[in-house]
Amino acid sequence: MATMQETKTTTVQEPVEEHFNNWSNVKGFDANFEQKTPVELAIKGHIPTYAAGVLYRTGPGACKVDAANGETLRLSHWFDGFSEAHRFQLIAPDKTHPAMRVFYNSRFSTDDIIEQARQTGKFKNMGFGQKRDPCQMAYHKVQTEYEPVAPPTPASINVGVTLSINMPGVGTNGSASRWDTSTGIKTLTAKTDFNVYKHLDPETLEPISLARQQDFHPDLDGFMTAAHARSDPNTGDLFNFNLTVGPVPAPTYRVFCVSASTGETTVLATFPGTPAYIHSLFLSEDYVVLCVWNTHVSHRDLNSSVMDCIKPFDPSKPATWYVVDRKTDRGLVATYESPAFFSFHTINSWQETTPTGETDIVADLIMFENLDFMHRLYYENLLSDSLAAKAICQGRTDASRSTITRFRLSAIPATPNQVPLTATIESSACKALSPELPTMNPNYVTRKHRYVYGVADRDDSTFFDGIMKFDNETKESLLWAHNAQSPGEPVFVADPDAANEDDGVLLSVVLDGFTGKSYLLCLDAHNLAELGRASVDGPVAFGFHGQHVPTRGLPTGDY
């Protein structure tokens, strides 16, 4: 395994105070703030006109419900929070308005789940990490046999991890209420790590309809998939996997492609493998790469939470990399093995030709050495008014921190190979910043990139406390950080007149811990200098991911 590389970090904004920021993260995790009618936001500074368009954000918006019986239902894990979508419309200057304008609206897409919890005091949906009453677990199967099961409604399914614009294959189902001709937004689809999609109105964010991968292809009937599908940057074709977990038949992976031009779905490869919770995958010019890292799941009844089904981390079992040809009918061409690790987010992958004419695949991701981070995301650990949360944060070890790690899969076979090969670690950096939610210039997808952006987790709070930029060439990092400011995923918006990879801006939604309100932050992607911010009159809950669609109508995809 490669040794950790020293990383020089320059802080763009020094924190006002050096102490553990014990501000109220409650508003970030249980905002319960909804703005259904678009409102104009006050802007400080400026936002470049090329950033005009729509920025969507999604994630959990609330984590507790006051029930009719006087009790309060509290969700256990951040991934189980009630999904809410957010929309920032950035309008370029014109003759009537000489400056950039920003409008904001938001909406919960889980009203039926919230109302059920309000009436019953229970969270009946299967959760990612929801802790259940032992009696409820013991009698769950008996209860479901005698309780009438109503057809699911769009607002009764909690789907809100990633968002797709004009996702191929699902169509509009006659439900798209508008088509924004300025950006080309026709459909907006929320996704998660399970086989269900939720269509939202692109403007009002109202949940409209549901779909499943069986709508693409009848063989895609497995329960699990990746919330982060991958799109070809040229064609818009979408790639993902479908996993059948159950023991009979054997756990099976199906890697598939949905054509953006025809809407037709092709299963590229079908193969058995150890079932695992996999949040994202890789795409290169000619291959789909699926890494089954060490979040292996048991075959037990998935009526329990996903966290309960994930087996303890076993460092003796290698991670397995499957390489699938996406241009021809060769299917699964190679399997590689690497040391055990865990990851949520892949960053990018590309192909390199060696001096001997062979093809290597280089793959970058955010790597963890164990599963500690998943357990840290329980609400009881995240809320910074808890002494236990502070202890967990300050008691972290190097093994629980993440790194930006590069793997190399050498000499991809020209013909399918049955013997596992070795994937090697080339570099690992940024452990002091413990990065997550990585993004990059989308124009460099499937080709070698230089810069990675993300949020930093330096233990200045129990949550993310900075925005970082990592240079793969110099191995240096920049950091934007202000005391009591909690940023979300930075979304890169490229300058259309760019001469360099980092010519553009980053858009991030930040919670101000002093005011309890959020703002849309715009940073220069070159030096992380603040350009401007648009203030929301309330807290935008800490979310997961987003998509920016420019007014100039460039193609978008899943990354």
Q: Which helix (H) or strand (E) is 40 found in, with range? A: strand 39-40
CA–CA distance, 371 with 240 (Å, rounded to integer): 24
CA dihedral angle for residue 358, residue 363, residue 368, residue 371, rounded to 10 degrees: -90
Picking from 84, 73, 90, 102, the residue whose alpha carbon sits closest to that of residue 33 is 84
Tell how far CA 335 is from the center of its chain. 26
DSSP assignment of 115-155: HHHHHHS---S--SS----HHHHHTHHHHHHHS--PPP-GG
| Token pair recorded at residue 165 | 């614009």
Amino acid identity of 101? R
Burial of 555 (0-12, 13-18, 19+ CB in 10 A): middle
- Is 528 strand, coil or helix? coil
What sign for the dihedral angle of Cα 176, 179, 184, 190? negative
Tokens 């006109």 identify what position?
49
Q: Is 228 annotated as a binding residue?
A: yes
Task: Choose among 509, 514, 498: nearest CA to 102.
Answer: 509
345 is in an annotated binding site: yes
Residue 19 annotated as binding site: no
Q: Is 448 helix (H, G, I), strand (E, B) or coil?
A: coil
Which one, of 55, 36, 41, 40, lies nearest residue 183 by Cα?
Answer: 55
Q: Residues 155, 112: contact at Cβ < 8 Å?
A: yes
DSSP summary character for residue 302: T
Give CA angle at 308 (144, 306), nearest 5°: 75
Which residue ranges are tagged as binding site for Fe cation? 228, 279, 345, 545
Which residues line the annotated binding site? Answer: 228, 279, 345, 545
